[in-house]
Structure 1
């Protein structure tokens, strides 16, 4: 049923916001199925969160409209030694509270990200030290040669040291323990927009940062960002003129929306959606079985072959997906297309494998799935549960908001789960380090919620990290991805397709990482 109560609350909040905006302001109204969970840019490594906050906070290096590295708070960078990179910082930049930006803020921000409370510490795992050379120069020394270090930096947002000290936010918000601080609801970045108002679950308002150092590419002055979980209510808000931009468009309504005169932008996303399984514990946390079935590769293969990914593509995703055989896909550096082949869908073979593993009568297991994060996420999980029932695996579906689901995965409080990943470096090593590597120090395996472990993949992942020869590096990436595929460490499903809906007078740029850049948006006159 449509969530009309939530929609009414949102409409009232929007009216109040618009009434408070200047009469001549160009206000962009955006509705997404989920909310940004915190204003702290180091608290959660999640695409919607990071994408939204990229309008408020900035990194040393960013990506341009062609996904290439471009200057942001650093104007130049060079590799002075195999393990030392020097960055020249932009002068004349001020944070939203008026504080000047300099090298002290860079050193502070990298140290903040490296703390245990940060969900982004894996991005700086190989950094030994960030040194201030002078007020506008920093050196980043890595533990070993790191040829792709600049590619990691677009997600490392810089915070004001003085502001964090003033408001008591020296450490990041910890999403696992739900320890909050002032950075949960407040912000002071250097980006093109500053935070005007934050109402979690209702509305987040941004206004143009008049003192921004950059060149304006769009004309939007104010942004009203609201979560509308109901597909029907979100679509109705666009069609009635209450919002200008929705994400995502319900797949079943794409053609009808186009026919009604609205724009629908669809394009491939770099995100791979997959299933993970607890392979570490001796027994299931959620479910009933003899021991932990997922520790047996025959069971993992049975689960894989019992899932009809083509049916999910056709019926759940309505063609808006690309079935996947690996945890990385096209557009990611190091992706090997020759390995991207799925195991055949074969229910009888799956039953035989289960019987061979001692589970001829199947078993019970809980599946944790978000219902407000990925395209048709809960529906995908419902389809998986129905398909696994054919081989006697009885799935109890736990569909929950990402505000509950993300901390659960970070705590590894699950036996079976749906997840999705976009390598922010656009490099396959990032997926290996975060999703596949054995959980360990400095954020290694931080999103390996099932505790999968293969020592040979760990060795390859460490070697890939500092391999300077591109051919040898690609060969090691192929080897690691092949080992993971053959182990069935995870069960890849598909790469989803982005689907944004906008009013005709709005022009936006859709990138394969799904980031909404409000500064690039152009609203024509009504």
Structure 2
């Protein structure tokens, strides 16, 4: 991961890089890698739903111009390098001889198409295209990206923008991303045609995905895996039983309660690390009246006193100890410590204070509390449903009657993006390892090119918007980090969200599995070996 002080240098070092992507020597022995977690890929349309788990699995099949190595340094992939022609023009040279899984050549036309597709209104990837003005083909293997101003994190944004075959998309009427707010599917939702090391052989949503090694892949990787079998298993006990019985090789998300048994098994091992994700609660600060609430004619969540009361009623240390069993680091901000822009100052939480929370509610005009809708996923984050159940009980102590409803990932995220939740849980990782990604997605007023794309509580503050706009274009690292701290502090003061914790993520696996644990909670297939 990149330290804040070396962030700019790390980005700049890539501009002339030409190193091969994940070069290594593969074993001659074919191996099947079977793994499981609670959730599934929401779609195979790589510009539709910006879901961290899905993005990680998409990388097996679809590739981007740049991607991270095992130490989160940006490396060329479908690009061979880049050159900053001037502050608003980046020239990218493309790898020659690359083919899509259907045999079509990868060219500059596909890059222009893919980046423009990611900027469509139905795309959920505008946060990665922010600042891009236009993309121009120079020749078959060169493109220029013109930006609206200096963009210090453009290469990091490009790591999540995967390349599609323009002709394939046109043939299958998938030139625009599937709209996740609707229930209409396109061909790209269930089918894939990338350039990556694995081919999607079959996918039955919420049941199983089968991927096979691409024999015509241009690269090399330090892995002997030739087939991937991924199985989403919602029930915790069933997931653990599958690992213990040998049905799967790895669990991405073992429950904290099962970890002692898994750690003590002679056939298994568990490796841990802090995730780059922050878990928090969002609140509807837009509607004039909340649905399914006993408060009529106004929205209590618009009042900062109410938001702060809900915050201070949460005993985060109890959640860390009892619900997460130590597998979390309580936080007061929206980014994890390894993200550029994090500081100890913004990390400080509002104190847990039940009496103070009751007084805040009374001062806001709700001495007896109120009823409110509370939505949570039940198969996305570690102990997500249990965390929400604990918070519901904590809020009851101050008179707030949260009507908890839990949903599976496949229906939960489209629901909250339709603005159908009053209070909701969200976990936000930072693929760029820069706080702008969170500030723009979560705190910027809803707008174009990724602004507020997951600000589903529709928080809006003109001062915050101005700070985010400055951060987008500020080239001086010291000034830029000062602006980031101001924005995160403003979020804290406004109680724009209720931060909870940064998870500590354990992976449980058979002892014959070798891989690299990643802060982004992705199983990077390039480094997986089955011995």
Shift of 1:163: 1.1
Partner of 1:264: 270
Partner of 1:251: 256
Partner of 1:516: 523
- In the alignment, the residues of structure 2 paired with residue 345 and residue 38 of structure 1 have an alpha-carbon distance, to the nearest angstrom, of 39
Contact 2:30 2:224 in 1 (8 A): no
Partner of 1:11: none
Shift of 1:414: 1.2
SS of corresponding position for 2:507: strand
Match runs of 1:213-232 below 5 Å = 213-232=218-237
Contact 1:460 1:480 in 2 (8 A): yes
Contact 1:286 1:414 in 2 (8 A): no
- In the alignment, the residues of structure 2 paired with residue 380 and residue 75 of structure 1 have an alpha-carbon distance, to the nearest angstrom, of 45
- In the alignment, the residues of structure 2 paired with residue 308 and residue 78 of structure 1 have an alpha-carbon distance, to the nearest angstrom, of 50
Partner of 1:46: 51
Q: Is 1:334–2:341 an aligned residue pair?
A: yes
Q: Is 1:59–2:57 an aligned residue pair?
A: no
Partner of 1:289: 295
Partner of 1:193: 198
Partner of 2:78: 73
Describe the superposition over 1:159-183 as per-residue Cα deviations: whole angstroms up to 9, x where unpaired: 0111111222111111111221111
TM-score (ref. length: structure 2): 0.93
Describe the superposition over 1:3-44 as per-residue Cα deviations: whole angstroms up to 9, x where unpaired: xxxxxxxxxxxxxxxxxxxxx741111111111111111111
TM-score (ref. length: structure 1): 0.94
Q: Is 1:152–2:152 an aligned residue pair?
A: no
Partner of 1:362: 369
- In the alignment, the residues of structure 1 paired with residue 409 and residue 324 of structure 2 have an alpha-carbon distance, to the nearest angstrom, of 20
SS of corresponding position for 1:87: strand
Contact 2:269 2:509 in 1 (8 A): yes
**Quick one: which of 436, 453, 460 aligns to 2:460?**
453
Give the RMSD, CA atoms, in angstroms. 1.0
Of residues 515-524 and 87-96 in structure 1, the stretch that sits farther from structure 2 once superposed is 515-524
Shift of 1:438: 0.8
Match runs of 1:414-453 below 5 Å = 414-453=421-460
SS of corresponding position for 2:273: strand
SS of corresponding position for 1:502: strand
Shift of 1:285: 2.4
SS of corresponding position for 2:192: coil
Contact 1:58 1:72 in 2 (8 A): yes
Contact 2:395 2:401 in 1 (8 A): yes
Contact 1:219 1:519 in 2 (8 A): no
Shift of 1:339: 2.1
Partner of 1:163: 168
* Runs of 4 or more consecutive aligned structure 1 residues displaced over 6 Å after TM superposition: none
Unaligned runs of 5+ in 1: 1-23
**Quick one: which of 128, 131, 138 aligns to 1:126?**
131
Q: Is 1:305–2:312 an aligned residue pair?
A: yes
Contact 2:111 2:163 in 1 (8 A): yes
Match runs of 1:176-191 below 5 Å = 176-191=181-196
Shift of 1:519: 2.6
- In the alignment, the residues of structure 2 paired with residue 467 and residue 148 of structure 1 have an alpha-carbon distance, to the nearest angstrom, of 10
Describe the superposition over 1:399-423 as per-residue Cα deviations: whole angstroms up to 9, x where unpaired: 0011111011211111100101012
Contact 2:278 2:501 in 1 (8 A): yes
Of residues 167-176 and 201-210 in structure 1, the stretch that sits farther from structure 2 once superposed is 167-176
Contact 1:286 1:415 in 2 (8 A): no
Partner of 2:25: none
- In the alignment, the residues of structure 2 paired with residue 104 and residue 271 of structure 1 have an alpha-carbon distance, to the nearest angstrom, of 34
Tell me how many residue pairs correspond in the alignment: 501
Contact 2:127 2:449 in 1 (8 A): yes
- In the alignment, the residues of structure 1 paired with residue 489 and residue 83 of structure 2 have an alpha-carbon distance, to the nearest angstrom, of 34
- In the alignment, the residues of structure 2 paired with residue 256 and residue 114 of structure 1 have an alpha-carbon distance, to the nearest angstrom, of 47
Q: Is 1:238–2:243 an aligned residue pair?
A: yes
Partner of 2:24: none
Partner of 2:283: 277
- In the alignment, the residues of structure 1 paired with residue 110 and residue 183 of structure 2 have an alpha-carbon distance, to the nearest angstrom, of 25
**Quick one: which of 173, 183, 186 aligns to 2:178?**
173
SS of corresponding position for 2:433: coil
SS of corresponding position for 2:239: helix
- In the alignment, the residues of structure 2 paired with residue 248 and residue 504 of structure 1 have an alpha-carbon distance, to the nearest angstrom, of 17
Unaligned runs of 5+ in 2: 1-28
SS of corresponding position for 2:231: strand
